[in-house]
A and B are shown apart, each in its own frame.
Chain A
Amino acid sequence: MLSFKMALRSISSNKMRAVLTMLGIIIGVMALVVLVSLVNGATTSVTDAVAGLGSSMLTVSVSDDKGNPIRVEDLDEWMREEPTFGRIAPYATSSAAGMANGESGTVTVYGTTADYYEIQNLQLAMGRWLKHTDVDNHSYVCVINETAAEELIGYTDCIGQGLNLNGVKYTIIGVLTNNEESLTGLLQSGSLIAYIPYTSLIRLATSVSADIASFYVSPAAGHTVEQAETAMENILMARFDEDEDAFDISSQNVLEEAMDNITSMLSVLLGGIAAISLVVGGIGIMNIMLVTVTERTREIGIRKAIGASRQTILTQFLMEAVVLCMLGCGLGIFLSWSILQIVNTVVASLDMVFVLDGGVVLVAVVFCFIIGLIFGLYPANKAAKMKPIDALHYGG
């Protein structure tokens, strides 16, 4: 506590120099805090937008059915009986060699049911979607996306044409528009996709069986995703011997997760760059501390002569470096806050709010403390190692 006061004293005795010394740390902290806060602010508003697009559903996958597999009939039953469920659609994927009109390509085949269309918010360009009867009859019909229509058939208006999947002929009953507004649509617009009845996919792909491994659930109108999630969890827990590892329910779609990954990577990247400037700031602190130690050689000599131990001197100079760093850190955080306030007024029309990110502030504080310790250690040790007589007679 006393050495803290002494450190403050000695820093405030040369304010101009202290501020210049801290400048590196101040700028480093500002870079770190402002950049990460901006990324987080932007991410929040973008993820909100993404969430609005397609995550009003649950993705359920079953990894261990305990000998009690889920069938299409079970899904229908849950849909009827559980009020919080809107629609449920099983899905499985496989890829198949697609051929039509002499063009060929690898097609991603989704096997599903009628409810998939609503849950996934798909849009037909023409034709119709799969019906319950298609599923019941294992019909050889398919709905393809616009890309598949253009690349395999050659034109979009291809209802009634045939599409060979692994040599079996499917009749095209509908073509989906490429929905560039939904992120799922955006990602899929580059690939050839065919949707066929779930029951037909069982015949087409050996890897798919009547045991449903994954399905989508949308909440009923007036119910939230969370309510549906709780209901689904209860059903599955009861079904799979209370083993919560047997299944996984996620309310986020894959894209949102991917976006989260990207933005957190961006935060780390920007944070890393800012951290480098903090290290540079730390080197600045070390430089000035070395100058200070030389300037105060005589003071060190006096202190040692009247009884300061090595540790006392070490603590004193280390404390000074750490206090310098922490003051710089505090100023930097304050300035970051001011900058974010200014940014907020400037972009007020953009529906984005940037707040000081608590996590990054904590990181900045801890990082500055560590930098103060590391870069203060060398000068402080130099001071502590001085011999009292040499230091006393320094400079007369």
Chain B
Amino acid sequence: MIDIKDLCKVYLVGDERVRALDHATLHIYPHEFVSIIGPSGSGKSTLMNIIGCLDVADAGTYLLDDLPIEAYSENELARIRNEKIGFVFQQFNLIPKLSAEENVELPLIYQKVPRAQRAERVKAALERVGLANRAKHLPTELSGGQQQRVAIARAIVTNPKLILADEPTGALDSKTSQEIIDIFHELHRQGNTIVLITHDNDVAKQAERSIRIFDGRILEVTL
């Protein structure tokens, strides 16, 4: 599913060169639930951006679903993100002007799915996260946990190969966090591949497998 070999990424912060990724190598198989854990500044955000095709590495290879990501143009990467990856962010990143269902509909619009089919799939996705009765609400009218569930619905509505969650519980209290993690467990049971990035050990150990990243290097730890 994900095949990363010798990835390097260097940022220039002022005059200093920061090695955000230092020959990182890792494999994630289909239907896995993997967490990537590391303290802030460890390079996990960089890794997440590269796995999510939001950024491209300086060196090394990345195969997503056998596609050599570094060979694609910006627009092709947009299509790959749209079709293969579902994103869940710490800050939910919903578009405030759009209602819950419109937010969930957006990736389908970019895929040019016909209207009737879109409505059907949006409804199904919202039902899966238990928010069918909140479809018309704006994000500001929803609680944090509800907003994150809308974001998850948006991530799964395209039936992506990979669900990529970046600190999905970072902005939530522990009870709501557990509800969100339970949704991920449910999605995993349904056969989705999930990569969850976190700095929280309690969250990380709920995954099948944890990968620890430190100073841009990857140390695999199975819990």
* A positions within 8 Å CB-CB of B: 2, 9-10, 13, 298-299, 301-312, 387-389, 392, 396
**In the complex, which residues of chain B have a beta carbon less than 8 angstroms from the beta carbon of A396?**
91
Main secondary structure of the interface of A (DSSP, over half): helix
Q: Are A309 and B54 in contact (CB under 8 A)?
A: no
Q: Are A392 and B110 in contact (CB under 8 A)?
A: no
Q: Are A307 and B110 in contact (CB under 8 A)?
A: yes
- Counting chain B CB atoms within 10 Å of each CB, the highest count among A2, A10, A13, A306 belongs to A306
Is the CB of B145 closer than 8 A to any CB of chain A?
no
**In the complex, which residues of chain A have a beta carbon less than 8 angstroms from the beta carbon of B106?**
303, 306
Choice from A2, A301, A305, A307 contacting B79 with Cβ under 8 Å: A307
Query: Which B residues between 41 and 90 are near A, CB-CB below 8 angstroms?
Result: 49, 52, 54-55, 74-75, 78-79, 81-83, 87, 89
A308-B110, A310-B74 given; 4 more Cβ-contact pairs under 8 Å? A305-B52, A305-B54, A306-B154, A307-B81
Q: Are B79 and A388 in contact (CB under 8 A)?
A: no
Q: Are B55 and A13 in contact (CB under 8 A)?
A: no
Choice from A13, A303, A389 contacting B54 with Cβ under 8 Å: A389
* B positions within 8 Å CB-CB of A: 49, 52, 54-55, 74-75, 78-79, 81-83, 87, 89, 91, 93-97, 106-107, 109-111, 154
Choice from B78, B87, B94 contacting A309 with Cβ under 8 Å: B78
CA distance A253 to B212 in the complex (A): 94
CA distance A349 to B147 in the complex (A): 66
Given contacts A9-B97, A10-B97, A389-B49, contact A306 B87 (CB under 8 A): yes
CA distance A13 to B98 in the complex (A): 11
Q: Are B95 and A302 in contact (CB under 8 A)?
A: yes
CA distance A311 to B112 in the complex (A): 14
**In the complex, which residues of chain A have a beta carbon less than 8 angstroms from the beta carbon of B52?**
305
CA distance A267 to B81 in the complex (A): 55
Distance between B212 CB and nearest chain A CB, rounded to angstroms: 23
Q: Are A298 and B78 in contact (CB under 8 A)?
A: no
**In the complex, which residues of chain B have a beta carbon less than 8 angstroms from the beta carbon of A304?**
78
